Each structure stands twice: as C-alpha cells, then as structure tokens.
Amino acid sequence: MDNKKIVIKVLLSVFTFGIYEIFWLVSLENEFAIISGRKKIGIKFLLLIIITLGVYKWFWISRIGRELESKGHENISSLYILLDILGLSLVNMILLQVESNRLMKNLKYIDSLKAMN
C-alpha cells in the first residue's frame, strides 16, 4: 500500500467518525498475522476489542511491538498505547500501517527470491 492509500484511509476514518478505522484495524491485524506467520483471527479480533471495551487493543499493540522487535525493529508499543490512551489512535493506525507496508514489501521481496530458486 502506498502513501496515497494511507491518506484515503485516514480521510475515510475521519468522515465516518471512526467506523472505517475499525475495519482498518482488522485489516492491520490480518497483515501482521501474515508477516509473523500467525493464523488470521479477523472477526474474533474485532469481537475481543468490543467485549473488552478496547483493552484488548492495548494487548494487541504490545504483541505487535514484540513481533516487530523479533524482526529486528525497535519495540515502541508503549508509545502506541500512550497515543491510544490520549485519543490519538489515528496516529497509531498511520504508524502501524507504514510499518506493515515496509514489512509486507520485504516479505514479497523474499518470496520472489525464493521463487527464483
């Protein structure tokens, strides 16, 4: 996904008063599941966030931070959680999407190298 699509997702999130952000969050969970080799949980992820009144999202953010750290990136999940508590979850979404894009690009590159062999 390029930067233009991130801008579109931000605008959709703002114009739908956060409803699109929920779908974007599930999409990010699926992308990070692919990156880390986990099973996608999709709608269960959304239900866990709703049932726990958003607390599960903080757990998810810290798990994503640990997964990124295992891939050699800095674990800044504390920053993501703080931004979420301060009501800046849209900033989180942008940062996580940028990170996901970078990792997905690397994953596709590695897969293309494997296909050549």
Each residue's pLDDT tens digit, 58-84: 999 999 988 888 888 888 888 989 999
81 versus 114: the higher-pLDDT residue is 81
Into how many domains does the chain fold?
A: 1
For 25-44, write each residue's pLDDT tens digit. 999 999 999 888 888 888 89
φ/ψ of 40, rounded to 5, equals: -70, 140
Q: Evaluate whether 21 touches 13 at the Cβ level (below 8 Å).
A: yes
Dihedral of the alpha carbons of 92, 82, 72, 115, in degrees to the nearest 10: -20
Distance CA 82, CA 79 (A): 5
The pTM of the full predicted model, rounded to 2 decimals, is 0.82
Separation CA 22–CA 81 (nearest Å): 16
Q: How far, in Å, CA of 28 to CA of 42, rounded?
A: 10
Cβ atoms of 4 and 12 closer than 8 Å = no
Domain that holds residue 7: 3-116
CA dihedral 48, 87, 5, 104 (to 10 degrees): -50
Compute and round to an integer the Cα radius of gyration of the chain.
15
